[in-house]
Chain A
Amino acid sequence: MIEDPQIEEEREEEESQPTLLFRIFHNQLITLILVLLVIVVFLGVTTRTFLTANNIFNVLRAFSWIAIAAFGQSMVIIGGGIDLSCGSNMAFCGIVAGAFLVAGYPVALAVLVALAVGAGIGFLNGFMVSRTYLPPFIATLGMMSIIRGFCYGLTSGWPVRGLPQSFLFLGQADIPFLTWKIPLPAIIMVAFAIFSFILLEKTKLGYHIYAVGGNEYAASLAGINCSRVKLVIFTLSGLFAGLGGILMTSRLGVAAPTAASGYELDVIAAAAIGGISLDGGEGSVWGALIGAALMQILRNALVLLGFPAYWQPSAIGAVIIGAVMIDQYRKRRI
């Protein structure tokens, strides 16, 4: 077997130089950050409001709950699944927290119960996928509908209102940092991004998630308990979606049963734009963060630029396709 010496050389070069830069590039981040920078510079030049602190933090707050849900979603997708129930889960956890608060329970308890409910819904998803062998698409599609039904049923369609000020703090407060006032949800988002990053990249569980998503059969031969991994990632996805829902509820001060309708698609799109392959086994949580940021910046830009509202969905769709196309092109080139 004759090998092309040039290929051999290149391979050696790659192997001998796993520089930080190369690894970041390999993690698909540079492309995304470049796209993001181009858009930000363009908006900074064309509008007088985009680069104001006020607007930046407004945008940060607006995509924080989508991003947090997207971190959980990323783990599920990397692990070879998909979680369609996250939008309903967001709405339901908001309603649970709201109902407990309205009944007079303390904020910490209400939030904890709601988070437990979110994680519980995720656990049920994981159980259906790993123990009853339902395809994740079907299990979470059914769950999406079941949870939405609970949202309507428990509220008879009326939003839960009159939430205490101490709860609204979570979503509305700004934390002073240097000269800025950073919205609390954005800080929570960054904290969870770091947590998810460590979990995925630095722990044995994270390694197992990639392995299960990459090739489940091989992973099970290697002695990985695949169904336990699935149980964990779906539970985490439920927990993260629940947290996102609670933050959104506290920012709006109202838990509407119709809230977050269709957000599962935004969350999945954030992960896909961020270079997380829907085939599983590939991608990073930072990609999901940037993906969520890209979509919200685009929505923000369309309003600031006075882009006709009627054409907005097309613009969002074009960006989703464009971003994933760039990513595919980059992958082929490597």
Chain B
Amino acid sequence: MKKRNNWLLIFVILTGMILLGGTVWAEKYTFAWIPKSLNNPVFELGSVGAFQKAKELTEQTPDEVEVLYVGSVASDAAEQARVVEDVIAKGVNGIAISCNDPTALIDVINKAVDAGIPVMCFDADSPESKRFTYLGVSNYDGGKAAAEILIRYMGEEGKVAILTGVPGALNLEERIRGFKDVVKDYPGIEIVTTVACYDDINQGVQVVEETMQAYPDLDGWFFVGIWPLFAERGSMPLWEEACSSGRCKTVAFDTLPEELQYLKEGLLVGLVGQKYWGWGYDSIQILYDYIVNKKEFPDWIDSGMDIVTIHNVDAMIEAWNTQDFTKPLPPPFPEEE
């Protein structure tokens, strides 16, 4: 009797092992995708890209890939660190994170890596941590690109104003540094003022209009972020008049639908944008390749910038409408090709 029971036990264990083996063949991977905050629409778009890639990988590979989209509601490094700890406790196969602070996240990132969970950064890096790679852009190069577009449309002389968000935010300061480095080679261009709106639409609208009053002969604007452009037509009458008449040229960062519309109407001459959708789409691919295919990645992966002008704005609008950003954009300045 006892012997028979033992045989039964062995049988059960063997069956279990075979079943387990089957699941090892088609492994399930869960990747946590952690943005800086949940209240910023660009991360929402990034998560769409992440879910899209997870769906594609599940369909195209034997594995099942799942994305866990979690984060703190507002941008807050301490809160984000707590989220990472939760994710470690929950147990995932990999983490992609956009760090609110490069230093504050080191500890939890290292904790995750020590627990056997590979971590990569996108959008905002934590270079001192044990993350295996960083997918991002050089904001400095983005600022340079913005200056080059502005000069192309405005000419090599004129008065230019800069609108920034929170003074001291590293990504914004880098963009301004790049912009200024290009402009300083053109003695005819004068940066007359830099105004800040503290990431607030209302204050953005206000300071742009005030600047238009203080410098009625302004020739160019560099909006380092989208802020005042979230507002509807009619909220910045002086700026709108100056730009639609062509007296003043504006280049802005980001490529959100609101801005594309402004560009199509001729109020903006150029946009420089990060590939938000790619933050999700590409980072899930990188995690999968790193963990499953054991692929090696460099310390820093340049995700590149989208440059949008009147020549390719329609393609960008189309991409937003279909939420499919896989097709490359047509060239922004076709006359040079």
Contacts and interface: CB of A to CB of B under 8 A. Distances in A.
The answer to whether A binds B is yes
Interface of A: 47, 49, 52, 54-55, 58, 62, 149, 152, 156-159, 161, 163, 168, 172, 248, 251-254, 256-261, 299-300, 303-304, 306, 308-310, 312
Interface string B32-76: 000000111101100000000000000000000000000001000
Contact of A157 (B44, B193, B196, B211): B44
A157 B39 contact: yes
B279 to A, nearest CB: 15
Contacts of A47: 214
For chain B, give the interface size range.
Answer: 35 or more
Nearest to A308: B194
Interface of B: 38-41, 43-44, 73, 164, 167-168, 192-196, 199-203, 205-207, 209-211, 213-214, 230-235, 258
A42 to B, nearest CB: 16
6 contacts: A55-B210, A62-B206, A159-B230, A172-B234, A308-B194, A309-B167
Given A157-B38, A253-B231, A310-B196, A259 B207 contact: no
Contact of A254 (B39, B168, B201): B201
Given A55-B213, A58-B213, A253 B235 contact: yes
A259 B201 contact: yes
Contacts of A54: 213
A297 B206 CA distance: 12
From B211, B231, B233, residue with most partner A Cβ within 10 Å: B231
A52 B238 CA distance: 14
Nearest to A63: B206
A258 B195 contact: no
B196 A163 contact: no
B73 A152 contact: yes
B200 A261 contact: yes
A152 B38 contact: yes
A301 to B, nearest CB: 9
Tell which of B39, B73, B199 has the most Cβ of chain A within 10 Å: B39
Given A252-B201, A252-B202, A159 B232 contact: no
Max count, chain A CB within 10 A of own CB: residue among B167, B202, B203, B234:
B202
Given A161-B232, A172-B235, A252-B205, A258 B39 contact: yes
Contact of B73 (A58, A62, A149, A299): A149
B232 A306 contact: no
A253 B234 contact: yes
Given A54-B213, A253-B234, 9 more contacts: A152-B39, A157-B40, A161-B258, A168-B234, A253-B231, A259-B202, A304-B210, A304-B213, A310-B196
B234 A49 contact: no
A102 to B, nearest CB: 13
B44 A248 contact: no
Given A253-B231, A254-B230, A304-B214, A309 B39 contact: no
Q: Name the 7 nearest CB pairs between A and B, nearest first.
A: A253-B232, A309-B196, A252-B231, A303-B210, A310-B167, A157-B39, A304-B214
Contacts of A163: 232
A248 B43 CA distance: 26
Contact of B214 (A149, A253, A303, A312): A303
Interface centre among A157, A260, A310 (most CB of B within 10 A): A157
A306 B214 contact: yes
Nearest to A310: B167
A312 B196 contact: yes
A163 B235 CA distance: 13
Contacts of A149: 73
B248 to A, nearest CB: 17
A257 B39 contact: yes
A52 B212 CA distance: 13
A303 B195 contact: yes
A252 B202 CA distance: 7
A317 B285 CA distance: 48
A189 B254 CA distance: 36
A253 B233 contact: yes
Contacts of B214: 47, 49, 303-304, 306
A158 B40 CA distance: 7
A200 to B, nearest CB: 28
B230 to A, nearest CB: 5
Nearest to B210: A303
